Amino acid sequence: MFVIRMMNDMKMKKKLALVFISAAIIPLLICGLFLIEKLREIVINDAFSQASANVERVQKRTEELINVPLDISYRLMTDNRMKKVASQQYDSYVDVIKTYREYTDIRDYLQLYNKEISGIRVYVSNPGALNNWEFIQPSTKITSSVWYQEAVAQKGLVGWNLILDERYGAENLSLIRAFPLDEHGRSGVLVMNVNKQQLHAIVEQESFPTLIVDDHNRIVAANEADMLGKNLSDIHADSNILSSQEGSYDTQINGKSSKVVIANLNPENSWNGLRIISIFTVSEITHDANQIIMLGVIVITGSLIVAILLIYASASLISRRLLRLSKHMSRVGAGSWEATIEIDGKDEVALLSRQFNALVRNVNDLIHEVNETNQQKNLIEQRQNEMKFKMLASQINPHFLFNSLESIRMEAHIRKQEDIAEAVWMLSTLLRSSLEVGNGTIELREELERIRCYLDLQKFRYEDRLIYRLRVDPMTERMQVPPLIIQPLIENAVIHGLDNHVEGAVIELEVIGVPEGIHITVRDNGAGFNTERLAQIREELSASVQEQEGQRIGLRNVNDRLVLLYGASSALQIESEPGRGTVVKFFIRGGEFQ
């Protein structure tokens, strides 16, 4: 019925256009969108297959490359001559130099496998030996490094990390492996640098951004030079890239939809491994396809424009007769009650013209009927007091929340302490309870809990400058009270108690139950009011409730609500002396509070 009514309200041209759009354009658009999505899907799947193949190729070539230092490490682990050179006691530096010259295995490996490895270092503590960049006395900095300690702890397993070569001052992907020196339990650490140029040559030929990272997410090789040596978290913060293992993932990079393909490389007898990561952006992959799609859209759009012009011309012929009828009806609407119209033909338009004259005769009756519908408008005033109460109850000054949040933020930034979590929890509790305040009453214990949260937050802000005491008769905690009837008084006490008071503020809340209700007292040791200011405040509170939007809340808010709910006997009583603080008292009348 809604669609029929909407169609009846449309002009003929719009109806014909809508029919054409529904019958031709919408199906065409649906087919076009379906084909576009299929084309994008095919392009993305092809790119994904290519990226997966690239990652697999990089994985195999990298594995072939690092298998060389892995094999050499096995040989050196069983090379007793190397162990003897590294651990034997030397009588003089001449003996050291002679022994180093006679042992050529390391130099031979470097010369024979110079495409796969660029350096071999043996770290052994031997006070009588020398450093010749093959046998090195490890310094305290080296022995305390993470990679050295991991190698010793793994007891012969192989590790792969990006570490600094002290000789050349550059970081290289290196094989790290601890080996036993002698029967006394001494050990050394073997480090072999993988050839950096060869490693980069593996990834440079890839068409998509491709990275090789170690288990600490440090980039050891990349086909984008500015990424080398950086931590992956500095470039990509997506958890799929940082922590995910083998597989493919969807992600967002620089606001663009992208896909990530990850393959693991875990060499034999290694405590860690490498990850090969390939990333491609969907928009870049679909760029060429989008150009083809755009060309098709232009052709289709041109065809649709021509069709729309033809439909518009046909609709104009049909709507011209309706326009004549519409103009005559407009004249009648302007007051020409004698106007008549005659349109030849037997279609619906001609039928309407013949019925038009009968319609004019009934217009006057319709006008009278319309005039009778403009009555009964004065029901709002009887609820004015109720609305005023709701407005008063909802005016909660949020300044202390913002101040507390700022304090928490600054404290967290400066001190980085866990107790801030507790403060945030209290603040969220207070905010939630404030936002859930209704128009009815709550139990006094709920109001007290809100007050405790507020005071704890202010104490977090002011620390030792704020002291508060709550003395509450336990029998009164089930008493029904209006929400936020005490908290504004506590807030005023905190603000005025700390104002110009270097040594801090002491806030006291006392709730005493009596058979007729409860007496509530709020005290502070603030600056207080002089006689003139106190008289002015009492005069403002005793005035009639006529606040306008934008007026201040606080004492006036609480006082007005108490008077509206419990009568003038429950109005606020304020006592104050300059330099001795302020006392605010009021009484809430109620029944039993067991």
Q: What is the DSSP letter of 255?
A: T
pLDDT, tens digit (0-9, with 9 covering 90-100), for 329-359: 777 776 666 666 667 666 676 777 777 767 7
- pLDDT value for 380: 31
- pLDDT < 50 regions, the chain: 375-396, 546-552, 592, 594
Q: What phi and psi, each to the nearest 5 degrees, are found at residue 480?
A: -85, 125
Q: What is the DSSP letter of 70?
A: H
Does 3.30.565.10 match the CATH number of domain 385-589? yes
Count of C-beta atoms within a 10 Å radius of residue 515:
6
- pLDDT value for 191: 94
Across 86-102, b (16+ Cβ under 10 Å) vs e yields bbeebeeeeebeebbee
Burial level of 481, CB count in 10 A (0-12/13-18/19+)?
Answer: buried
3-class secondary structure, 117: strand
Q: What is the CATH number of domain 11-285?
A: 3.30.450.20
pTM of the shown model: 0.46
Question: What angle is formed at CA 196 by the lines to CA 191 and CA 200, rounded to 5 degrees?
Answer: 140
- pLDDT value for 522: 93
Q: What's the Rg (C-alpha) of the chain? A: 43
DSSP for 136-160, written as a single string: E---HHHHTSHHHHHHHHHTT-EEE
The secondary element (H helix, E strand) that includes residue 321 is: helix 287-333
- pLDDT value for 379: 36
Helices 384-394 & 555-566 angle (0-180, nearest 10)? 140
Both tokens of 515, joined, read: 């058979």
- pLDDT value for 550: 38
Picking from 143, 198, 195, 153, the residue whose alpha carbon sits closest to that of residue 174 is: 195
Residues 126 and 137 sit within 8 Å (Cβ to Cβ): yes
Which residue matches tokens 């295995």?
105
Q: What phi and psi, each to the nearest 5 degrees, are found at residue 239?
A: -65, -30
In the chain, where the domains are located? 11-285, 306-366, 385-589
